[in-house]
Structure 1
Amino acid sequence: MSEISMSNTNNTNGSYSNRTNSSVPSAIVPINDLNSSVNNSDHPVPPTTNKESISCFSIPFFQKLIAEGIGTFFMIFAGCAAVNVNLNNDKVVTLPGIALTWGLAVMVMIYALGYISGAHFNPAVTIAFATCGCGKFPWKQVPGYVLAQVAGSTLAIGTLRLLFQGNQDHFLGTLPNGSNMQSLVLEFITTFYLMFVICSVATDSRAVGELAGLAIGSTVIVNILCSGPISGASLNPARSLGPALVFNRYEGLWIYIIGPICGAIAGSWTYSFIKNDCTIRKLGSKFY
C-alpha cells in the first residue's frame, strides 16, 4: 500500500471524568507507510517495501510486526500514563494535556516507524487499508498486524498497572459517558475523520507526505477534545482491547470495535471516491 499507518490512532486516551471507570480519551492512531514521503527524502527505503511480495513467514514481515507492536506499545503507554497521572493528581494534566500527549505520541511514532511498517498502530486502519484500494494492503497480512497491535496495547497497559498500584490503579479503558448509541456514532465520525486525513496525507502522492505525522497527530488531538469526555475517544480497537484484557472489563467494548472499524472503512472509501483520479469522478465529468 502506499504504506499507510497510524492510528491509530487511537489515538489517546484517558478518562477526564472524576470517576475512575469513566470514559478515557484515547488516541487512536493508525498510520501510513509514508512511502511516498520517504521516497522523496534521504531515508533509505527497504528493498522489501512491496507488501504483496513479502511472505507472512519472512524476516521482513516479522520486522514489520515488531515495529507495529513497539509503536502501539509506546503510543498507548504515553497516552494512558497521562490519563493515570491526571487521575492521581487532581486532574493537573487536564483534557487538553491528555489530548496533546496522545497526538504527540502518535506523531513521534509515525516518524520513527512509518517507513518500516506503515505505522498503522490501529486495527481499524489496517482493515480499512485492506478493504480500500488507496492503501493496497494485502489481506494475508492483516491478522499479523492486528495481533501485534493488540499485543503492544496489552503490554503497555499491563506495564502501567504494575507501575501504578493501590490507590493509583485506575481503569484505563474507554467507557461511554452517555448512551451507547451516542458513543457509537461519535466513534464512527471521529475515526472516519482520522482515516480520511490518513488517506490524504499518507497515501496520496500529491500531498505533502513529510507533514503526515503532524497532520495525523493533530487530527487525534482534535478528536479527543471533541469526543473524549463523551465516548473516551478511542478511535482504535487496540486502544480499548488492551485495558479490557488487563482489567478483565468488557462492558461497552463492542462500541469501540464496531464504531472505529466501520468509520475507518467509510473514511478510506470516501477519500478514494473523491480523489481526482477516481474512475467514478472521471465518468461524472462527462456531464459537465
Structure 2
Amino acid sequence: MPEPETPTVSAPATPGTPGGPLFSSLRVDSLSYDRKSMPRCKCLPVDTSTWGPPQSCLHDFPTPDVSLTRKLGAEFVGTFMLIFAATAGPIVNQKYNGAETLIGNAACAGLAVMVIILSTGHISGAHLNPSLTIAFAALRHFPWVQVPAYIVAQVSASICASFALRGVFHPFMSGGVTVPSVSHGQAFALEFIITFNLLFVVTAVATDTRAVGELAGIAVGATVMLNILVAGPSSGGSMNPVRTLGPAIAAGNYRGIWIYLVAPTLGALAGAGVYTAVKLDADDVDPPRQVRSFRR
C-alpha cells in the first residue's frame, strides 16, 4: 500500500507580522476624503451621464475609518506647523535684514506644506486651509458636516502659532502679516489667481485616480513655493485665510484682511471646479499603468 502523504506544515508566522502582503497595491491619497467610498460629484453639472438619484451632501457619506477627533488633532498640529513655518520666514527676514530673502520665505512655506501632507495626509487629509476644505465639500470630495469642525481647528491652530511667534520674535511680528503692497484690486486678483493654481493642482493629485497621488506632497509644496515667488512681494502670497488671520490678530494689523478671506475662497472654488470639469472620464483613457511608489 502507498504510504499516506504527510501534510506540509508551514512555519508559524513571526509574532507581529501581518498575514497579507506588506505593501498594498492601493495607494494612499493625501488631502481628500476616501475616494473609493465617495459618490461621484453631483453638485456641478460636469458629468451628467453619471448622475443618479439625488443624495444629501450632509448624510450620504459613510463612516470614516479615522475618528473625527483624530482628524481634528492632526489638522490642528499640521496647521500649527504650517503657520509657524510660513510666518517665521518673513519675521526672521525682517529681524535679520533680509537674511531669508524671497526664495527663503517661499521655501519655508512650500517645504512645510510638503512635509505636513506626507506626515498627516493619511489621517486628516492635511487640508490646512479653510478655502480648500470648503471647495472640496462643494465638489463632494469631503462631507459638509465636518467642515465647521475643520475650520475651527485650522483657525485656532493659526492663532496659537501666531501668538507663539509673537512671544519668540517680539517686536518683529509685523513682518509675518500678509498685507498688500499694491492696490486692493491687484492684490485681490493675485490672491484669486494663485489660489486657483493651488487648488487646480491639489484637486488633480488628490481626487483623480489617474494622477500620481504619491507625489501629492511634492506637487502641492512646489506650487506653494511658485505662487509665493510670483505674488509674495505684492500681496504676501497667502492663498489661505488662516495664514493671514492668525498673524493679523497677533500683530493687531487688519489692513486689507477682507481680501485674504474672500479671494482665496473664490479662487479655491474656481480652481477645484475647473479641474473637475476638464479631467478625463474613465472611457477617455487607456487602462492606467502601474506607477512605482516611494510611499508605503
Pairwise TM-score range, normalised by the shorter structure: 0.7 to 0.9
Matches of 1:65 and 1:194 in 2, distance apart? Answer: 23
Shift of 1:65: 0.8
2:64 pairs with 1:64: no
Matches of 2:147 and 2:242 in 1, distance apart? Answer: 14
> Among 143, 153, 161, which residue is 2:158 paired with?
153
Question: Contact between 1:171 and 1:243, CA under 8 Å: does it hold in 2?
Answer: no
How does 1:249-264 map onto structure 2 within 5 Å?
A: 249-264=253-268
Question: Contact between 1:123 and 1:236, CA under 8 Å: does it hold in 2?
Answer: yes
Matches of 1:244 and 1:193 in 2, distance apart? Answer: 24
Question: Contact between 1:82 and 1:101, CA under 8 Å: does it hold in 2?
Answer: yes
- Deviation digits for residues 118-158 of structure 1 (CA, Å, limit 9, x no counterpart): 0000000000001113x2x1111111001100111111110
2:83 pairs with 1:76: yes
TM-score scaled to structure 1, two decimals? 0.76
1:162 aligns with 167
2:106 pairs with 1:102: no
> Among 49, 53, 58, which residue is 2:62 paired with?
53
Matches of 2:148 and 2:230 in 1, distance apart? Answer: 31
Matches of 1:132 and 1:174 in 2, distance apart? Answer: 29
> Residue 257 of structure 2 aligns to a residue in which SS?
coil
Shift of 1:72: 0.5
Shift of 1:78: 1.0
- Deviation digits for residues 139-184 of structure 1 (CA, Å, limit 9, x no counterpart): 1111100110011111111000001124x44342211100000000
Question: Contact between 1:184 and 1:259, CA under 8 Å: does it hold in 2?
Answer: yes
Residues 202, 278 of structure 1: alpha-carbon distance in 2 compared, 3 angstrom cutoff: same
Matches of 2:173 and 2:79 in 1, distance apart? Answer: 21
Q: Which amino acid in structure 2 is aligned with residue 122 of structure 1?
A: N
Matches of 1:3 and 1:259 in 2, distance apart? Answer: 31
Shift of 1:34: 8.0
Aligned-pair identity (%): 47
Q: Which amino acid in structure 2 is aligned with residue 87 of structure 1?
A: Q
Residues 142, 111 of structure 1: alpha-carbon distance in 2 compared, 3 angstrom cutoff: same
> Among 232, 235, 240, which residue is 1:236 paired with?
240
Q: Aligned pair count?
A: 236
RMSD: 2.6
Shift of 1:245: 1.9
Any stretches of 5+ residues in structure 1 without a counterpart?
6-31, 37-50, 282-288
Matches of 1:255 and 1:181 in 2, distance apart? Answer: 9
Shift of 1:94: 0.3
Shift of 1:59: 7.9
Any stretches of 5+ residues in structure 2 without a counterpart?
1-26, 36-59, 285-296
Q: Determine which structure has more spread, i.e. the larger CA radius of gyration.
A: 2
Question: Contact between 1:154 and 1:246, CA under 8 Å: does it hold in 2?
Answer: yes
Matches of 1:64 and 1:130 in 2, distance apart? Answer: 16
1:274 aligns with 278
1:86 aligns with 93
- Deviation digits for residues 261-287 of structure 1 (CA, Å, limit 9, x no counterpart): 0000001110110111299x9xxxxxx
Q: Which amino acid in structure 1 is aligned with residue 131 of structure 2?
A: A
- Deviation digits for residues 195-218 of structure 1 (CA, Å, limit 9, x no counterpart): 000011111111111101000000
1:192 aligns with 196
Residues 226, 100 of structure 1: alpha-carbon distance in 2 compared, 3 angstrom cutoff: same
Matches of 1:272 and 1:278 in 2, distance apart? Answer: 13
Structure with higher RCO (Cα < 8 A, 6+ apart): 1
Question: Contact between 2:29 and 2:214, CA under 8 Å: does it hold in 1?
Answer: no
